[in-house]
Amino acid sequence: MFTIEHEFDATVVTLVDEGPGHLQEDITINAFDDCVTIEQLDPRTERVQKITLSIAQLEDLSAALDLPEGVYRLVRDGKPAGRDG
C-alpha cells in the first residue's frame, strides 16, 4: 500500500509494508525539485535514517532497474551509453 501527498515544496510518497511475514518500517520518499530523500525509521535505534539522491542518481537508479549486470553511464537523454562487463 502507498500514499501520495502534494505539499508546498515536495511530493511525498509513503510506502507501507503489509502482508504476512516479517514487515519493514514505512518508507517515506520526498521528491523535491533538486533531489529526492528516502527516510525509514530504524527500530533498533528509534532514529530515522535518511538518504538523499540527486536527480541524476535517481535517473541512474531508474535505468538500472531494467538492465542486466554491468557498468553503465547514462547519456542524459535517459538511455545507457554503454555496457562494460
Q: Give per-residue pLDDT as tens, 10-24.
A: 999 999 999 888 899
The answer to whether position 32 is within a domain reads: yes
The total number of structural domains in the chain stands at: 1
Cell 510518497 -> residue:
13
pTM over 0.75: yes
The answer to whether position 85 is within a domain reads: no
Contact between residue 72 and residue 62 where contact means Cβ atoms under 8 Å apart: no
The answer to whether position 21 is within a domain reads: yes
Instruction: Give the residue numbers spanning the domain of 24.
Output: 2-80
pLDDT of 79: 60
Question: Given pLDDT bands bounded at 50, 70 and 90, which one contains residue 81?
Answer: low
As separate numbers, helices (DSSP H) first and strands (DSSP E) second, the chain gives: 1, 7
Contact between residue 39 and residue 25 where contact means Cβ atoms under 8 Å apart: no
The answer to whether position 50 is within a domain reads: yes
pLDDT of 84: 52
Q: Residues 28-39: pLDDT tens digits?
A: 999 999 999 999
- Alpha-carbon distances of 43 from 8, 33, 55, rounded to whole Å: 29, 30, 29
